[in-house]
Amino acid sequence: MNSIETFKKTLEDDRSRMIELERLLTSIPAIAPESGGDGESKKCAALEKWLCDAGFDESQFSHYDAPDNRVSSGVRPNLVLTIPGKSDDYAIWVMAHMDVVPPGDLKLWNSDPFTVQYDEKTDKLIGRGVEDNQQGLVSGVFAALALLKNKITPEHTVKLLFMADEEFGSVYGIKYLLKNHSELFNKNDLILIPDGGDEKGETIEVAEKNILWLKIHTIGQQSHGSMPNKGKNAHLAACDLALRLNDLENFFNEKDNLFCPNYSTFQPTKKESNVETVNIIPGDDVFYMDCRILPRYTLDAVRAEVNKRAAEIEAKYGVKIEISEPQAQQSPATPVDAPVVKKLAAAIKNAHGFEARPIGIGGGTVGAELRCCGYNAAIWSTMDEVCHQPNEYCYVRNIIADAVTLCALFTEN
């Protein structure tokens, strides 16, 4: 039996324990204080104990906890489990986050969100967090356990990182680690984040569109609806500006087939209430834009064009426009021929026999934070991407399949 077949058998034999670990993790809601939760400490402690009981030594664990006085423990935990390899010239990281989003409207759930349901016929686990991000976490854990069970030393040191605070911006998670513990990482490390993918595991995310959220506050002059000449219609000016900003899709118009859609998008989204009745010309108006921009364009270039078009509106309507940014993030792409991409693709081919391809996405992940600091990172997993939805689910077979891929990655020369 070759090593891949050995890993497949070992991991299939561990199916019930994978479900057990998913049940444990789901039963301890790790919700951020921004959503009224108490953070990840209890979940992290339970995970660390489970890992020790499973056979890992206490000396293999390191804590890099971020202070946070809003939670009862006073910290947001970041835990690293190290599996020494034959070579320590670089590490292979598998980074998963422990926090989950709240369940939302409980009436939309068919069961308790924090009690895992397992449907043996469909092989489906249901519960908050089972996919986002416990599927990737559990795959990493059982890939490491497969090495331990089979007495196999990985070719390079393996590090499993269990992070805090991914769902609310990673201030207490990867951002904290990059700022305060940069010695953890090496530019040659292979960094894999199993927190996104497709139902077949065929795509490796290597790039993200730059994200710019805009809050547009237009200040005019209120008047009676029958006398618009005595006012300055903030809503009318804002509508004109919304169309001009949407037209940025024709200005920043290059295409990149790494992404779908393959162009930059500038979309008006949220609209705040302005006046109470129909017969009032609004003197105040607020709307928002969600802009997803190809990495070839800088946010500063976009800001300059936004400000130019806003100034044109101010001059045309006699209004004042204030622009703020609820969110702004840009990052370089991981090269499609970077070692992490090539080695991961080779491991997928070795484990499952198909070719994976690099893609870009419009959403944001912790990969962007790493790329901004010069670390190449790849996001990959086999999943339906039902994160944050009611009745969130994952398949145990996907946990196993991804763990097999990780075993192949860990044992490649």
Active site residues: 99, 166
Q: Which residue type sits at 156?
A: H
How far apart (Å, rounded) are the C-alpha atoms in residues 336 and 203?
Answer: 12
211 contacts: CB under 8 Å, gap ≥ 6: 291, 292, 293, 327, 328, 329, 330, 364
How far apart (Å, rounded) are the C-alpha atoms in residues 194 and 197?
Answer: 8
Q: Is 319 helix (H, G, I), strand (E, B) or coil?
A: coil
How far apart (Å, rounded) are the C-alpha atoms in residues 307 and 304?
Answer: 5
How far apart (Å, rounded) are the C-alpha atoms in residues 114 and 130?
Answer: 10
Q: Is 275 helix (H, G, I), strand (E, B) or coil?
A: coil
Question: Does residue 261 have a cis peptide bond before it, meaning omega lies within 30 degrees of 0?
Answer: yes
For residue 384, give Cα distances in angstroms to 131, 341, 343. 9, 21, 24
How far apart (Å, rounded) are the C-alpha atoms in residues 396 and 402?
Answer: 10
